[in-house]
Amino acid sequence: MELKVSVSAPIRPTEDLSKVAKAIRYMIDRNYRRGAEPGNELDEEELRSALGNDEIVVSMPEFKDGAYTAGELSVTGGIELLKTIHHSIRQEEIIDTAYTALRKGMSDDECRTVISLNKQVAYARRLNFPADEETLGSIRVEIEAKSPESLERVIDWLTPPTKEGTPVYELSIEDLNRC
């Protein structure tokens, strides 16, 4: 399945770039250790190796006069960027909440959806879908598929139908790739 996933967050002048980078890393790599080498949170080559995708791209704010400027930090790739969110949705038992957020962020052509995640909560390795844009900005997860049917399969994989909070069925990534 051809799918583009982008995970990004604005960096404000008062924020620590390393902490925002860790918050994003925690949302895309559940095996990442909090004590890992500082400044290496979103190293492109290391991410490609850790997540098994040679097409991952990292964009950082400009480094100027010994510091990063305000800007946006983003990681772009494929379905592998959603594996940790998939796991966290189940671990935190928020399938229905996540489904609502994915539906709320759906584009008119139904080929793209966007969800927002709280940066501070992500830094604590948890998921939280803020009701409104946060003062320092939220982590933005954008999922874009070639067709509405493909996006629907991804949403079913992330947030399958539930009965009393328990998934009725589970799709695997292999199921998605058969589309």
Task: Output the pLDDT for position 52.
Answer: 82
Average pLDDT score over residue span 69-78 = 86
Residue ranges of the domains in the chain? 3-177
Task: Output the pLDDT for position 39.
Answer: 64
Question: For residue 15, what are the contacts with CB-CB under 8 A and spacing of at least 6?
Answer: 136
Residues in the chain: 179
Going from the C-alpha of 39 to that of each of 21, 130, 178, the distances in angstroms are 9, 27, 38
Average pLDDT in the chain: 88
pLDDT tier, 176 (very low <50, low <70, confident <90, very high otherwise)? confident
Task: Output the pLDDT for position 155.
Answer: 97
Spatial distance between the Cα atoms of 6 and 79, rounded to a whole number of angstroms: 10
Which bin fits 173, alpha (ψ -120 to 50), beta or left (φ > 0)?
A: alpha
Residue 68's identity, in one-letter code, is Y
Spatial distance between the Cα atoms of 28 and 91, rounded to a whole number of angstroms: 15
Residue 14's identity, in one-letter code, is T
Residue 100's identity, in one-letter code, is T
CATH superfamily of the 3-177 domain:
Ribosomal protein L5 (3.30.1440.10)
Task: Output the pLDDT for position 130.
Answer: 95
Q: Full-prediction pTM beyond 0.95?
A: no
Q: Measure the CA dihedral 95/98/103/104, to 10°.
A: 150
Phi, psi of 136 (to 5 degrees): -90, 5
Over the stretch 74-89, which tens digit does the pLDDT of each residue have? 999 999 999 999 999 9
Spatial distance between the Cα atoms of 35 and 171, rounded to a whole number of angstroms: 33
Predicted confidence (pLDDT) at residue 136 exceeds the cutoff of 90? no
